[in-house]
Structure 1
Amino acid sequence: MEITGYSASILIGISLGLIGGGGSILTVPVLVYLFAVDTVLATTYSLFIVGSTSLVGSFSYFKKRWIDIQTAIYFGIPSIISVFLTRHYILLAIPEKILQMGSFSLSKSVLLMVIFAVLMIFASYSMIKKDTAATNPQKNTSLTAVILQGTVVGLVTGLIGAGGGFLIIPALVNFLKLPMKTAIGTSLLIIAVNSIAGFGFSIGQNHIEWKFLLSVTLIAIVGIFIGSYLSTKIEGYKLKPAFGWFVLVMGVYILFKETLINQLM
């Protein structure tokens, strides 16, 4: 399983480098199911892996001026505040055992994985559906809406350790009308800042296995270099639907496993 886990880790970086998102949606399932990491600890590890990988990947976009710094700030500040509040208050306030009804038991770990699975299913829809931004133009959204979206992304990042690229990129392209490559670069920077800040907020709450964490992170970073290279040869939007279907299958599997299979075992 560990060999499979390390092999899957490279896909995290490839996805982030190629389409600017989706990698973080793979990280927690890889850690939980392939490396047998506790779910809450996996969300902390995910923040470091995704944050470090996205930061490295954002450098090439920054050099090419494919990052909108102003948008990143508008998204980033409310996101960081939201991540802090989520990691320090909301996540800690969830009890380890939430509900017990007969043979059915709902634990904190199961709840987080169910939330993760539902978000994967929603994320897959945004990847699979045909982009209608060019044929159905929308007005630029207000600053208030951008701040609200940043807050939601921070909540998702803080709660389940996902960078939220699947939420950020549609907002940047459809509402702020950023070109796709600029949206990807800006998304990587926002994900990096959110995730690294979230890891910093959580570092005192868990015992960190640094050797393991750094090894997975380095493999994911190799993946983002591959993804960034491939992005110069392949348009990411062409691969998004296929990746979206993969995320959908994974989301349905996790939802089924956590709510039915685990309860029967």
Structure 2
Amino acid sequence: MLMAALTGLLIGSVMGLTGAGGGILAVPALVYGQGWSMQQAMPVALLAVTAGAVAGAAEGFAKGLVRYRAAMLMAAAAVIPTWTGVWLAGRLPQATLMILFAAILAGVSLRLWRQLSQPACDEEQRALATINSATGRFVWNWKTGGLMAGIGSLAGLMTGLLGVGGGFIIVPMLRHFTNLTIHGAIATSLFFIAMVGTLGVGSALAHGASLPLAFSGGFVIATIAGMLAGRRLVHHLPARRVQQGFALMLSLVALSLCWRALGT
């Protein structure tokens, strides 16, 4: 139980700081820490990530940061891909899932390092979807709707297939393709994770997954506590340092998973 509490605190803190990374780190942590398979770890990880996201999204709503229409459109677009991902996860070999997971981690890490090395640019000029400065909300048109649906579909597939919340896709894509602030992107991502994670957990249970109640309960409580702590810390830490640490952590986890997969 101590390991569950410590792992949950770490996962929740990363989610609170970045709006992403909870599921990315939770699944490998359970695979290594508990000796579980990817299939065993996924539903427990997703349950904890979803619970943490609910707590973070509630705070985002209270501060007016959640772009709920965008999150709801992304969540609607994610329904079928999430179910598809769960179906695929039950039929892929363990080593294949590990290598796929490691490849995605490496890709996200590379993208984060590239963002850090690029000079700042005008977000308004590059944005495919923009925020109305007067209302703080997205300007809705077909391009905005298509972008949100595309982001949601990809995030949903990863949620079902790998047991992750999708925030590691949503936050970077919202920041790259829109002029939404980092705090708005994190809060919107957490609301999406709360909705789609609930679907993912239900889908996993419907496909025969089991949740060890005592361990899962402790893991969930610790993740929520870590999330709330992370949300308070994020305003006191340099965003660049947080991104550097997150990118380095993803790189190390990806290498470790590759080593384990190739050794099985």
TM-score, normalised to structure 1's length?
0.86
Please give the alpha-carbon distance, in whole angstroms, between the structure 2 residues aligned to 1:203 and 1:210.
Answer: 13
Residues 45-194 of structure 1: pairs in structure 2 closer than 5 A: 45-87=44-86, 89-92=87-90, 94=91, 108-130=93-115, 134-135=120-121, 137=123, 138-141=126-129, 142=143, 143-194=145-196
Please give the alpha-carbon distance, in whole angstroms, between the structure 2 residues aligned to 1:235 and 1:10.
Answer: 21
Q: 3-state DSSP class of the match of 2:35?
A: coil
Q: Tell me which residue corresponds to 1:224.
A: 227
Q: 1:206 aligned to 202, 205, 209, which one? A: 209
Q: Percent identity?
A: 24
Query: Does structure 2 retain, via aligned residues, the 8 Å contact 1:117–1:251?
Result: yes
Please give the alpha-carbon distance, in whole angstroms, between the structure 2 residues aligned to 1:236 and 1:54.
Answer: 20
Q: Deviations over 1:37-62 (max 9, x none)?
A: 22212111121111111111111111
Please give the alpha-carbon distance, in whole angstroms, between the structure 2 residues aligned to 1:196 and 1:169.
Answer: 19
Please give the alpha-carbon distance, in whole angstroms, between the structure 1 residues aligned to 2:8 and 2:167.
Answer: 17
TM-score, normalised to structure 2's length?
0.87
* Cα offset, 1:85, TM superposition: 2.7
Q: 3-state DSSP class of the match of 1:177?
A: coil
Question: In 2 relative to 1, CA 220–236 (structure 1 residues): closer, same or farther, beyond 3 Å?
Answer: farther
* Cα offset, 1:134, TM superposition: 4.5
Letter in 1 for 2:154: V
Q: Tell me which residue corresponds to 1:233.
A: 236
Please give the alpha-carbon distance, in whole angstroms, between the structure 1 residues aligned to 2:255 and 2:120.
Answer: 31
Please give the alpha-carbon distance, in whole angstroms, between the structure 2 residues aligned to 1:129 and 1:163.
Answer: 23
Q: Deviations over 1:220-264 (max 9, x none)?
A: 1111111011012224443111221111011011112211x33xx
Q: 3-state DSSP class of the match of 1:51?
A: helix
Please give the alpha-carbon distance, in whole angstroms, between the structure 2 residues aligned to 1:40 and 1:133.
Answer: 41
Unaligned ranges ≥5, structure 1 = 96-107
Letter in 2 for 1:135: C
Please give the alpha-carbon distance, in whole angstroms, between the structure 2 residues aligned to 1:134 and 1:192.
Answer: 31
- Taking only aligned residues, the RMSD between alpha carbons, in angstroms, comes to 1.8
Please give the alpha-carbon distance, in whole angstroms, between the structure 2 residues aligned to 1:251 and 1:23.
Answer: 15
Please give the alpha-carbon distance, in whole angstroms, between the structure 2 residues aligned to 1:112 and 1:155.
Answer: 13
